[in-house]
Structure formats: C-alpha cells, structure tokens
Amino acid sequence: MNWREKLAALEQFYQRSFQTPRFIEKVVTSGSYAKKVRALARLGTRTATEVDLLCSQVEHLRRAFKVMDDLIDEDTVRDGSPAFWFTRSGAAAIEQAAWDIAQARQIAARLEILLLFEQRLREVIEGARLEVELENPGYALLEPTITWWRVVQKESAFRLFIAAALGCPPQVCEAARLDGIAAQMLDDGLSALHGKDGRVENSDEKLDRLTYMRAYGVSAEEAIRRGRELKTKIAPILGRKEV
C-alpha cells in the first residue's frame, strides 16, 4: 500500500464503523489495556459494573487499533503469529476493526460518554493519519518536534480517554496522557535497538517514520532514558511504582 491507499483505508475504517460492519473473527489481545482500566478505577468514580463495561470497551478499541496498525505499518507478524490482514485481506481487516469500533461506540452510549469517545477516537485516528502522510515523499517536515507531538496522539489520546471515562480527577487524566507519550518514547527507542515484538523488520525504519530520536536528534538510549524518567515522575499520580 502507498500512503494514499493507507489514508483511504483509515477513512474507510472510521466511516464503516458508523454503518453495520460484519464480525470476521475475534482478535486476540494480551488484555493489558483492560488491566490499565482496573488499575485506574480506584482513582475514578465508576461503579464496578461500569468498570467492567469500560474494560470490555477498551479491549474492543485495542483489537481495532491492533488490526489497523498492522495493516498500515505493513507488519506481517504480530505476537509471533501472522497478522490479521496478512492471513485474510486488507478489506477483512478494515471490516473487523470497524466492527470492534462499533461495539465500543455502543458501550460509550450506554455509559453516556459518547462525545468523549468520539473526540478521543478522532484524535487517535488523526495521529495515525499524520504518521501516514509523512510517508509522502513530498511532505515538507518543517517542525519535527511539533509534528511528533501530533503523531503521538495515537497513544496519549487513548490513555486520556481511559482516565476521563473512569471519572478520574484532572491531574490523573493529565498523568495518563503523559503516560501515553512516555510509552511512545520508549517504543521508539526500544524498537530501534531491539525491533518490534521480535519481528525481523522494524516498521519505523522500513517506513522511515518520524521517531522521537529523529524529531529531537537524540540516540535511542536517550529516548529510553527520557521515557523512563517521565514514567517515574507521573507514577505517584497514577498510583504506580515505575523505574
């Protein structure tokens, strides 16, 4: 896929989620985002039943993002197994991801957070769109640092959504947003040193992505150090112990 085809796929995925997308096959996740919900729940105001719903919702979101990330990144392997789009098709990946988003939207309506859901979802998608636009050889990258912060919405908006949906106070919501930024810094640095999830190819290098190192002119080791430092600073706010 070229960058234009990827942009079209992202838009098709989003628009299809408002229609009646078909379920293709359940996508397996590690459950890590549901764990994030439960870890933050004690800092919020949701009931146990609502927390269960939110766990289900973020797992639908995680499945959708996982499938679309692999398609856009052209990754053929995920967690040691063939990627969804690679064994089925790009169209099937878009359909399944749209189905999961549609399920997440229904839960948002039940929890009366539909506006929040749509706002943060669009931010995640806009970050993904910008990352793809940067693959255009004619893109004029004038402000690498600012552009990286726009791209990192893919992570920060998702984590901010979790905290806000739980009814966490403003300082916790901001810490959750920063946690997403730190996670991207670490992912950029660790992927440069060790690859992504044991894959032979690092999609950041393959697609010449705008990583934290490239935006700030630092080494992968420095990106990792800064990411860990940020996580350590916000850990007390999120009730964690980070090193």
106 in any annotated domain = yes
Q: Residue 75 is part of a domain; what is its CATH number?
A: 1.10.600.10
* pLDDT score, position 122: 97
243 in any annotated domain = no
Is pLDDT at 146 greater than 90 in this prediction?
Answer: yes
220 in any annotated domain = yes
- Degrees to nearest 5, angle at CA 145 with 143 and 146: 70
CA–CA separation, 206 vs 158, rounded Å?
A: 25
CB 92 within 8 A of CB 85: yes
Is pLDDT at 80 greater than 90 in this prediction?
Answer: no
* pLDDT tier, 242 (very low <50, low <70, confident <90, very high otherwise): low
- Residues 202-217: what's their mean pLDDT? 84
* pLDDT score, position 204: 67
H or E stretch including 81?
A: strand 81-82
Is pLDDT at 198 greater than 90 in this prediction?
Answer: no
125 in any annotated domain = yes
3-class DSSP assignment, residue 46: coil
* pLDDT score, position 195: 79
- Residues 157-178: what's their mean pLDDT? 98
Q: What is the pTM of this model?
A: 0.91
Is pLDDT at 210 greater than 90 in this prediction?
Answer: yes
* pLDDT tier, 202 (very low <50, low <70, confident <90, very high otherwise): low
Is pLDDT at 161 greater than 70 in this prediction?
Answer: yes
Range of 106's domain? 3-238
The total of structural domains in the chain comes to: 1
- Write down the mean pLDDT value for the chain: 93
200 in any annotated domain = yes
Residue type, 186: L
102 in any annotated domain = yes
Per-residue pLDDT tens over the stretch 22-76? 999 999 988 888 998 999 999 999 999 999 999 999 999 999 999 999 999 998 8
CB 165 within 8 A of CB 114: no
* pLDDT tier, 241 (very low <50, low <70, confident <90, very high otherwise): confident
Q: Would residue 202 be called left, alpha or beta, if left means φ above 0 and alpha means ψ between -120 and 50 degrees? A: beta
* pLDDT score, position 172: 98
